[in-house]
Amino acid sequence: MDKRQLFDALDDFSQNLLVTLAEVEAIKKNLKSIVEENTVLRLENDKLRERLGEVERTTPNKGGQGRENLERIYLDGFHICTDFYGQRRDNDEEECAFCNELLFRE
Ligand SMILES: [Zn+2]
């Protein structure tokens, strides 16, 4: 390899490094916005849980809009019980005793 070839190879190498660096920066930026979005969603989730807690405490046990909303969520295939709240029920058909307790208690 003569000097000329060596310099060309180094030019290529530094060019590739610049491209890679730009890619890393783009990934960092992307990750930053995902982390930020995640934080916003976690805060939102906390607020909604808090609000749900208030609604559950102030809503009478019998009937009501809250009960209907919970039932809809349950029928959509999600747990509404405190143990598994918000998690997908493994099998939509499978009954959850804790959820049923909430939905059908007097
Ligand atoms: Zn459940």
Structure tokens at 28: 């960092």
pTM exceeding 0.75: no
Q: Is the pLDDT of residue 95 over 80?
A: yes
Query: Cβ–Cβ contacts within 10 Å for residue 100, how many?
Result: 13
pLDDT digits (tens, 9 = 90+) for 4-51: 999 999 999 999 999 999 999 999 999 999 999 989 888 888 888 888
Q: Where are the alpha helices (DSSP H) in the chain?
A: 3-58, 65-75, 97-104
Using the mean position of ligand 1's atoms as its centre, give its distance from the Cα of residue 80 in Å.
6
Cα of 99 vs centre of ligand 1, distance in Å, is: 4
- Distance between Cα 100 and ligand 1 center (Å): 8
The rounded Å distance from CA 103 to ligand 1 centre is 10
State in Å: Cα 9 to ligand 1 middle.
63
Each residue of 54-64: pLDDT tens digit? 888 886 655 56
Longest Cα separation, the chain:
89
